[in-house]
Amino acid sequence: AQKVTQAQTEISVVEKEDVTLDCVYETRDTTYYLFWYKQPPSGELVFLIRRNSFDEQNEISGRYSWNFQKSTSSFNFTITASQVVDSAVYFCALTFSGGYNKLIFGAGTRLAVHP
Amino acid sequence: EPEVTQTPSHQVTQMGQEVILRCVPISNHLYFYWYRQILGQKVEFLVSFYNNEISEKSEIFDDQFSVERPDGSNFTLKIRSTKLEDSAMYFCASRGRREENTGELFFGEGSRLTVL
């Protein structure tokens, strides 16, 4: 089965706190790609990051960082020093090599950052 | 930067009416998708389209739904007889040859459908 699980439905933090959004995936394929998308209240899907299954290096981009661990099939996303503008729904997603393969989304985590 | 565009951004319709949602994918892209997101829920795959035919469809994509690429640029989703439960945000996405080995999809901004 190919599946993405985001167990945290909602997270509420106060500005400047660090927050980690969890993502666990299931697949038997050896080549796959993982993504994080942000969906602000306006509704569009904003691409944040892509990782392929051969690259387990963690990545940092400003206040965002991602921890990919194949051993635990996890691809977690951390926001450091959260800001009110980070309030959104965050989706983790999985797809596979090949042109027509669909993107499989997790259920999303709603992050509310309060001043 | 090229982008996927969708029209209308919001459509309100009466139950039982036909609706067509339009998408203009990025011009050299080959693979096209529709996704649906009921308010507050996950983004669900509806259908993928390649080489002028459906390559995969989900259980949601029943006989009330159809897709078409009528003129080589537009990619449309038609709902023949809308139901209340079709109210959702519909996202179009596309992928080019270059993204075959990266998995990346380019999403439009969505079309919100409200069925009354």
A107 to B56: CB separation less than 8 angstroms, yes or no: no
B67-96: average pLDDT: 94
As a whole number, the mean pLDDT across chain A is 93
Q: Identify any residues that bridge with A5 across adjacent strands, giving them in sequence order.
A: A24
> Which one, of A112, A111, A114, A113, lies nearest residue A36 by Cα?
A111
B56 interaction partners in chain A (CB closer than 8 Å):
100, 102
Query: Residue B100: which pLDDT band, with cuts at 50, 70 and 90?
Result: confident
Query: Residue A88: which pLDDT band, with cuts at 50, 70 and 90?
Result: very high
B107 to A32: CB separation less than 8 angstroms, yes or no: no
B107 interaction partners in chain A (CB closer than 8 Å):
44-45, 47
* Gap between the Cα atoms of B78 and A46, Å rounded: 25
Per-residue pLDDT tens for B45-79?
A: 999 999 999 999 999 999 999 999 988 789 999 99
A103 to B103: CB separation less than 8 angstroms, yes or no: yes
Residues 6+ apart with CB under 8 A from B82: B13, B14, B15, B16, B17, B18, B19, B113, B115
CB atoms within 10 A of CB A25: 21
